[in-house]
Structure formats: structure tokens, C-alpha cells
Chains A and B, each alone.
Chain A
Amino acid sequence: MGSAITQFQIIPLQYYILFCSALFSIGVIGVLAKRNALVIFMSVELMLNSANLLLAAFSAYRNDPAGQIFVFFIMVVAAAEVAIGLALLVVVYRSTHSIDIYKLDRLKW
């Protein structure tokens, strides 16, 4: 375990932060710009996983397991979220015959 943490710490912490911020930004842009619901799910997963990586990096640098425990919780929730998301996608596809979110325009004033 000790060796894994030393290997983790070879890369400076700033690089992890920059990398995770970049991943997070890609996820945000993906959610805002794409119109395919599946691609949006993937972008949301990217956002969650960038937070996972950041937590793991901080946790390794501080020798504090709390961050890595949090990662497990996030992974469980992300799995549940994907299950619900895909189920909703199937239901929406049944009524609109499309997974384009721009087709979801029944509700507006």
C-alpha cells in the first residue's frame, strides 16, 4: 500500500487538479452541447469520475482514507443513476421513437 501511494505521489498534485478540471469541463460541455441522451449520460459519468479521481488523488496525498471511501459511495450512486437513466431512456424512446432530447418539447408555456 505504501509503495502505491509513493508512486501516486511521483506526479505533482497540481497535475491531478488540472487534469480533473479538464475532464470535468469536458463533461459540462458535453452535457450542454450534445443532444443525444446517451452522450449526455456519458458526459455526466465523466463529471462524476473526474470528482472520483480528484478525491482519490487528495486522499493519497494526505494519507487519509476518507476520500477513497467517498469514491466507493460515488461509484454505487453512479451505477444506480445509470440504471435509472437507461430505464427512463427506454420509456421515452417508446413514446417519441427517438433519444434526441430536443424532441422533448411537450412541456412549455
Chain B
Amino acid sequence: MYAIITISIVAIIVLFFGAIQKKAPLLPIIYVGLPLAFLLHLLEWNKNIHYYNEMYIADNFSIAFNGVLIFTTLLVFIFAPVYYKPVNRPLEDIYALILFALVGGLIMTGFGNLLMLFVGIETLSLSLYILAGSKKFDPNSNEAAMKYFLTGSFASGFLLFGIALLYGASGSMNLEEIKQYVILHQANMPGMLTIGLILVAIGMSFKIGAAPFHFWAPDVYEGSPTLITTFMATVGKVAAIAAFFRLMQSSFGEVESIWKVTLTIFAIATILIGNLSAFYQDNVKRMFAYSGIAHAGYMLIAIIALKQEASGVLLLYSISYTIATITAFAVLILVREETGTFSIKAFNGLSKHNPTEAFAMTIAMLSLAGIPPLVGFAAKYNLFVSAIEQGNLPLVIVAIIGSMISVYYYIRPVIAMYANEPSATSAIDSSSNYKKQIILAAFLMIVLGLIPGVIVNLI
């Protein structure tokens, strides 16, 4: 709760400084405000506080995921000055919208009432619609924002109608009371509740970008400004997955039979479509969009197979996905600055000029592909082992096949960087500040890969 309040206040202060045309203090305020919000949030650790009639629940699950979201946003803000170097205005609107979107994400991880789920999703989505179109005079950005808006509000309609039906069947929007109702009526579930649950699942699948509702993701990710894409692909996805996990495990964990088959089909389709489509992409940004879809599929396995007690595995997976994705996008921003293209050819010979960036990109790609000893491998290993223990062997086999396919397209930029001759003549200029963040992220991926147990047992 304190984190939500702090970040909202920081966003309003940022807006205020922008209104009086002061550029210098904006980023320092954010750099101080976000860690402060996380520290205040940590005060609630292990206390399991329920706020406002269980509207918001600050348990260890939500605090841990909020930590991931806050630090991801912090990394995005650290890359912001490089990305927005040519822009002279204070940019308070974009920074404030990113912070408000983060607030929406924080609400989603800790909701205790379907009302808060809706409010959180909409706070996140409405901010992201505008951010996707924030490059006002770029037709691609306009188009991405329009597509995102249309599909996103369509998905919200499904989510809402599903919530209405759940409310009609169970008579409450509180997760705990819905759980009591479900346990009581386990033997003969009313059709209204089943339909409502499926509609909510469809709405959430839209938001996490799971097949067959993934079609918006590649276009939106490609057209949006790269920094916003980074934010969307990490914070947006992790928040939605955490909310989905919370909803399914805390209310409907007892009646797996009515949603397990649907979600299993979604997961298999997502893994196969994501990996196979990424296979033939030449645009690296679009490839990451499909890779994000594939990872949403792996995280769906966590929703299907894990019990609430094992949510640490999902946490580890989210961390491994976010760190690797952010590093990859950071290098992509640099390469794009220099060559002006997102094509895979832009990476040719990067290792000759910029060994640090090339190394970080390699680590990120290998971690996403799941090569030991990086954190991506530890995350996938823990996830698949837990899924097999719960008896989901066929699903895991599909996931492993998808994972094997993914190695091919993750290796392509690496080969371009190390084996091909450089096409750009000059070295890519990167400030030392930026370099430190990339090294830190690569370091985290290696260290977390060696000690995954710490995170798995955290919550």
C-alpha cells in the first residue's frame, strides 16, 4: 500500500516539475522515489496485511512481485536519458504515465477483490495505450497505439462481462468469498460461473499476450517507441501473469477441472506459435515480441501446474525473463541509435567495436534460451520439474520442444555479432553510466543462475 501511495505522489511531483518547465530534477526524483517506495513496501513483509475490507492484500507474493516491477521500472528509467537524448522538453508526461502504469501493475499483483483487478488492469492499460502512441508524428507509433487500444478495450469487455457473471453466480467479488462459494458448490458448478471464468480467462490471456489472443503483440511491440516496448514487455506482462496466477490459485484452485483443459490448450498454442513465428523474423524487435509470447506460454504452465505455495518458481521465472529482456532491449536501443534499423544485420560485427555490449547481449540471449548456468536455465528447470511433479508431463514435453526451437533464433544475433564482419564503420558511442547498468544486468543473470534456491524459497 505504501508503495502505491509513494509512487503516485512521485508521479504527481514529476508532473508538477514538468508544468513549471524544470527538466533537471525529474529523473533524480524518480531514482530516489522508486527505491524508497520499495523500502516502505518491505515494511509489510511477512505481515500479510489486508487493506480496506480485503480490497488490497499486501502478502509476500505481492511484495515480491512488486519488487520485480519496481526495479524493472527503475532500469527502464535508467535507460531513459540515453533513449530520449535528442528530445529537449522535460518529458514529464511520459515519465508520469510510466509511473502511473507501474501503480496499476502494483495493484494487480495484490488485489483481493475483482474490483481492484479491474481498476489495476485499466490503470496499467490506459497508460500504456498513450505511451504506445507517444511518438506523435511517427505513423508506426500511431498505428501501434490504435491497435493496442482496440484490442485492449475489447479484452476489457470480455473481462468485465466475465466478472459480472462470476458476481452473479457467487454473490461476491471478494476472492476469499468466491473461494468459499466454489468449495461449497464443487459438485455441481452453475454454468454461469463456468462461463464467467472462461470469459475472465480470455480477457487475461489478451493482456498477457497468450495465443490465440496474441495477434496484437507483435505489431504493438514493433511500432511503439523501443523504451516503451521494453516497459510493456516486462512490467505489463509480469503484472498480468501475477494477477492471473493470483486469481486462479486463490479462488479457483479447488475446481481445476473447469479451466485446466482450456488453459492447457492456450499454453501449448502459445509456446508453439510464439517460437515458430519468431523463427523467421528478420526484425529483432518483432522477434522479441514473439519471444515474449513464447515466454508467456511458459509462464502459463506455472499457472496451470503450480500450487500457491510454489509461487516462488513463477517469481524466479519472472525475474529471469525481465532481466534478460531489459538487457537485450538496452543493447538494441544502442544498436538502433547507430545503424537506424532493427534488422538483424545491424548486429553484424558488434563484438569488434563494443565487446561489453556484445557480451551482455550474448548472456541475455543464452539466458532467454535457457542455457546453463544462467538464470534462464534455473528458472526453466524449476518450472518444468514442478510441473512434472504435478503430473503435466505432455505439457512439459511441448515446452521443451519449444525451448529447443527457440535456441536457433536466440543464437542468430549472437552469430551476427561474433562471426560476421562489421558493417558500421564507427564504434557505437555509449556513456559509461549506461555500460554499468548492462554489466550489472549480465552479472545478475550469472549470479542468480548459481543461487536460484534463494528466490524459489522466498515466498
| Residues of A in contact with B (beta carbons under 8 Å apart) | 17, 20, 24, 27-28, 31, 37, 40, 44, 47-48, 50-51, 54-55, 58, 62, 64, 66-67, 69-70, 73-74, 77, 80-81, 84-85, 88-89, 91-92, 94-96, 101, 104, 106-109
Tell me the bound Cα distance from A108 to B286 in angstroms.
Answer: 9
Residues of B within 8 A of A28 (CB): 157
Tell me the bound Cα distance from A73 to B156 in angstroms.
Answer: 13
Count of chain B residues with a beta carbon within 8 Å of a chain A beta carbon: 43
Interface of B is mostly: helix
Contacting pair B146 A88 (CB below 8 A): yes
Tell me, rounded to whole Å, the shortest Cβ–Cβ distance linking B452 to chain A. Answer: 35
Tell me, rounded to whole Å, the shortest Cβ–Cβ distance linking B420 to chain A. Answer: 22
Q: Which residues 109-165 of B have a CB within 8 angstroms of A?
A: 115, 118-119, 122, 126, 129-130, 133, 136, 139-140, 142-147, 149-150, 153-154, 156-158, 160-161, 163-165
Contacting pair A74 B160 (CB below 8 A): yes
Tell me the bound Cα distance from A18 to B294 in angstroms.
Answer: 38
Tell me the bound Cα distance from A101 to B154 in angstroms.
Answer: 15
Tell me the bound Cα distance from A95 to B158 in angstroms.
Answer: 31
Tell me the bound Cα distance from A51 to B164 in angstroms.
Answer: 6
Which of these binds chain A: B167-175, B347-355, B396-404? B167-175
Residue of A nearest to B171 (CB): A62
With A54-B164, A108-B219 known as contacts, the answer to whether A95 contacts B139 (CB < 8 A) is yes
Residues of B within 8 A of A27 (CB): 157
Contacting pair A58 B133 (CB below 8 A): no
Tell me, rounded to whole Å, the shortest Cβ–Cβ distance linking A91 to chain B. Answer: 5
Tell me the bound Cα distance from A18 to B153 in angstroms.
Answer: 23
Tell me the bound Cα distance from A84 to B147 in angstroms.
Answer: 13
B223 at the interface (CB under 8 A from A): yes
Contacting pair A24 B161 (CB below 8 A): yes
Contacting pair B167 A55 (CB below 8 A): yes
B226 at the interface (CB under 8 A from A): no
Q: Which residues 346-369 of B have a CB within 8 angstroms of A?
A: none
Contacting pair B119 A84 (CB below 8 A): no
Tell me the bound Cα distance from A48 to B160 in angstroms.
Answer: 7
With A24-B161, A51-B161, A81-B126 known as contacts, the answer to whether A107 contacts B144 (CB < 8 A) is yes
Tell me the bound Cα distance from A51 to B203 in angstroms.
Answer: 14
Contacting pair B126 A92 (CB below 8 A): no
Residue of A nearest to B129 (CB): A84
Q: Which of A55, A69, A95, A108 contacts B164 (CB 8 A)?
A: A55
Q: Which 10 A-B pairs have the closest CB atoms?
A: A47-B157, A51-B160, A58-B168, A107-B219, A54-B164, A95-B139, A51-B164, A51-B161, A104-B143, A77-B122
Contacting pair B157 A92 (CB below 8 A): no
Residues of B within 8 A of A106 (CB): 139-140, 143, 223
Q: Which of A24, A44, A51, A64 contacts B153 (CB 8 A)?
A: A44
Q: Which of A70, A94, A109 contacts B115 (CB 8 A)?
A: A70
B281 at the interface (CB under 8 A from A): yes
With A106-B143, A107-B219, A107-B223 known as contacts, the answer to whether A70 contacts B173 (CB < 8 A) is yes
With A69-B115, A84-B129, A109-B281 known as contacts, the answer to whether A40 contacts B150 (CB < 8 A) is yes
Contacting pair A107 B143 (CB below 8 A): yes
18 additional contacts (CB under 8 A) given A107-B223, A109-B286:
A44-B150, A50-B161, A51-B161, A51-B163, A54-B164, A66-B167, A67-B164, A70-B115, A80-B122, A88-B142, A89-B146, A92-B142, A94-B142, A95-B142, A106-B139, A106-B140, A107-B222, A109-B280
13 contacts between A and B (CB under 8 A): A28-B157, A47-B160, A51-B163, A66-B167, A74-B118, A77-B126, A88-B133, A88-B145, A91-B136, A91-B142, A104-B143, A107-B218, A109-B281
Residues of B within 8 A of A54 (CB): 161, 164-165, 168
Q: Which of B126, B150, B157, B286 contacts A48 (CB 8 A)?
A: B157
Residues of B within 8 A of A92 (CB): 142-143, 146
Tell me the bound Cα distance from A62 to B219 in angstroms.
Answer: 44
